[in-house]
């Protein structure tokens, strides 16, 4: 079983304003970008920094402060706001142009704080060197894409921080209390696949053929049920209740599962990278929950990390929140 890597410190990038991030991270879900996007950002940032500073990034947590999907306003059914640009010239008609075909792209504006679990000797360096790292990180991130979106200028309302965590448990907890207060107001995404197991057991009470897909779909929607009661006069009354009392539960993509064996580099036509082994995959789904940071008791509960098993073909994002329950 995978565990969150030990972090000697935290790198906090507060209040990043991201415009037009990808809101369709998997074929069956839409909304907040997948954690695979933020792990990809983590690795890209680490590679960009290692030319200058020996800072290791091993996990990332995301706190969302604002979420503005680019969808139509009004009505129960929403649709993405799509454009058909740029105009294209028609053949043999220089004066006429027509828009391209619609390609469905989901976009969302975000306000997020990123918390990276870090290691490396730079944590014990002088305050001047650590300030240099923070300044370098801010410059790098301002030029990078996050989940396909653009980081707006002036995103950092507060300075990024590089914090060395104490070895003593009590001091470490006191540090985290101070950090999580600074993350409010906002919501932190954690993994709750334990709810998937509980819902499957519940479904098996009525249907022994229910699968984990049935449980995932059941958790992904709001289920209303009616209960009939009789008063003292024998009159029936119907009460409708929904099952959304257990928190802000959301279906999320967690990573990828292999569809084929690993292919040698350069053997697959039109692959983006011809120097890296290639594998066809499909999305893996799970259940997540948005929690206020004040409900967390340890920084590891908010951190996501990568786990890969080449033999079984499973590449997924993991979070250890449920281990502390």
Residues 129-154: b if buried by 16+ CB within 10 A, e if exposed: ebebbbebbeeebeeebbbebbbeee
| Nearest CA among 40, 23, 14 for reference residue 154 | 14
pLDDT for 51: 73
- The residue assigned the tokens 């990024």 is 160
Strand partners, 267: none
Q: What SS3 string covers 235-297?
A: CEEEEEEECCCCCEEEEEEEEEEECCCCECCCCCCCCCCCCCCECCEEEEEEEEEEECHHHCC
- What is residue 317's predicted lDDT score, i.e. its pLDDT? 95
pLDDT given at position 1: 63
Longest dimension (CA), the chain: 83
Task: Point out the residues of the chain with pLDDT beneath 50.
Answer: none
Strand, coil or helix: 197: helix
Sign, CA dihedral 26-32-35-39, equals: positive
Which pTM value belongs to this model? 0.89
Q: What is the pLDDT of residue 84?
A: 78
Beta strands 145-146 and 56-69: pairing type? unpaired
């Amino acid at each position: 079983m995978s565990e969150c890597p030990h972090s000697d410190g935290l790198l906090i990038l507060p209040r990043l304003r991201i415009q037009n991030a990808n809101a369709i991270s998997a074929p069956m879900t839409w909304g907040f970008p997948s954690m695979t996007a933020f792990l990809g950002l983590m690795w890209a940032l680490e590679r960009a920094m290692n030319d200058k500073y020996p800072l290791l990034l091993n996990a990332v947590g995301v706190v969302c402060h604002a979420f503005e999907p680019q969808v139509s306003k009004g009505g129960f059914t929403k649709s993405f706001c799509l454009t058909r640009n740029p105009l294209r010239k028609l053949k043999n008609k220089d004066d006429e142009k027509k828009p391209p075909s619609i390609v469905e792209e989901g976009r969302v504006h975000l306000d997020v704080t990123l918390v990276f679990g870090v290691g490396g000797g730079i944590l014990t360096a002088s305050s001047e060197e650590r300030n240099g790292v923070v300044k370098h990180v801010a410059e790098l991130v301002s030029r990078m894409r996050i989940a396909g979106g653009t980081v707006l200028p002036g995103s950092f309302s507060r300075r990024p921080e590089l914090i060395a965590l104490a070895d003593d448990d009590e001091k470490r907890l006191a540090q985290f209390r101070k950090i999580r207060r600074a993350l409010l107001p906002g919501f932190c995404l954690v993994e709750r696949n334990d709810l998937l197991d509980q819902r499957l057991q519940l479904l098996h009470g009525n249907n022994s053929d229910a699968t984990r897909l049935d449980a995932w779909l059941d958790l992904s929607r709001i289920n209303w049920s009616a209960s009939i009661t009789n008063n003292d006069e024998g009159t029936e009354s119907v009460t409708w209740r929904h099952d959304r009392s257990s928190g802000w539960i959301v279906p999320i993509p967690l990573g990828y599962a292999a569809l084929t064996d690993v292919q040698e580099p350069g053997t697959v036509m039109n692959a983006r990278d011809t120097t890296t082994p290639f594998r066809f995959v499909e999305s893996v789904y799970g259940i997540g929950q948005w929690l206020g940071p004040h409900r967390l008791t340890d920084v590891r509960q908010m951190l996501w990390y990568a786990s890969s098993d080449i033999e079984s073909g499973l590449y997924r994002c993991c979070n250890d929140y449920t281990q502390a329950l």
